[in-house]
Chain A
Amino acid sequence: MALAPHPNYSAQVPPRVDDAVDDVALERVMREVPSGALALSLLTVGLLLLAWFLMYAFVFLPRGMVG
C-alpha cells in the first residue's frame, strides 16, 4: 500500500517565484566582479611582494655572506 503524502507536505515547499534577476543584469555583474577581484588581488599580492623585496634588499643582502 502506497504511503499517503503528508497533508502538510505541499505547504512546506516554497512556491517557485521568479527571482527578478534578468539576464542582462547577470551578465553585467559577471563582467564587473572579476575586475574588482583582480584589482584587490593585485593590490594585496603587490604589497606582499614589495615588503618581501624591501626586506631582501635592505635587510637580507646588507647582512652579508653566510653559508
Chain B
Amino acid sequence: MRADTEQDILKTELWWTALVTAVVTAIMLAIIYAGLVHHINPPSNIETVDPKTLHLTGEFTEGNLGTRVDGSQITSRIVATQFAFQPQCIVMPANRTVTLRFATPDVIHGILVTGTNVNTMIIPGYVSQVHTVFTKTGDLLMPCHEFCGLGHSQMWATVRVVPEDEFKPGPDGRVTCDAR
C-alpha cells in the first residue's frame, strides 16, 4: 500500500474518532441539560426498610397506603407484591409536585407511569421514591415492568390524575379512588 493511501486512511480514522467524540459529548450535554434545567433525573433515593415487617410496622402498613396530604406535601405510598399493587388505584393532583414511595416484601418489581418520565425499580429492603409533577389529567396505567413471576402480566395499577381543584383530601388527609 502506498504511503499516501495509508495517510488518507489514518486521516479518515482520526476524523471519525473526532466525530464520535463530538456525538457522545453532545448526548452527555443534553442529559446534563435535562437534569439541571428541567430537573429530570434518575430516582436516586437510598433508604432501607425491613421487608419482613413491611406490613406490620412503619409507614407501609395497610392504613398508611395510598395518597395522603400532609401540609403542602402530597405523598402516595404503594406496596408492590406478587402480583398486585396495594392500593390498586391512587389519586394525584395535576400540576403539583407529588412524591411516590414504593416498597416490596417479596421480589424485585419495577414501575412506570405511562406518558410520564416516572420509572423506577422496587427492590426488597429499599424504599423507592420518585418526585414528579403530573401535567395531564386522566387515568394513567402503572404496570409492573420487571418480570416478577407467572402473574407479572396481571400486575398493574392506576394513577388517577385529577384537576387541582377536584383534589380534596378527607379529614384524615387521605384521598382515595373509592371516595371519588
Classify chain A: how many residues form its interface, as a range: 10 to 19
Stretch at the interface among B33-41, B52-60, B73-81, B164-172: B33-41
Q: Are A27 and B41 in contact (CB under 8 A)?
A: no
CA distance A8 to B16 in the complex (A): 52
**Binding site secondary structure of chain B:** mixed
| Residues of chain B from 7 to 42 with CB closer than 8 A to chain A in the complex | 8-9, 12, 16, 19-20, 23, 27, 30, 34, 38-42
Q: Which residues of A contact B (CB under 8 A)?
A: 27, 30-31, 34, 38, 41, 45, 49, 52-53, 56, 60-61, 63-67
A64-B38, A64-B133, A66-B41 given; name 8 further pairs at CB < 8 Å. A27-B5, A41-B16, A45-B19, A45-B23, A63-B40, A65-B38, A65-B39, A67-B40
The 7 closest A-B pairs by CB, nearest first: A67-B41, A66-B117, A65-B39, A63-B117, A66-B132, A30-B5, A34-B12
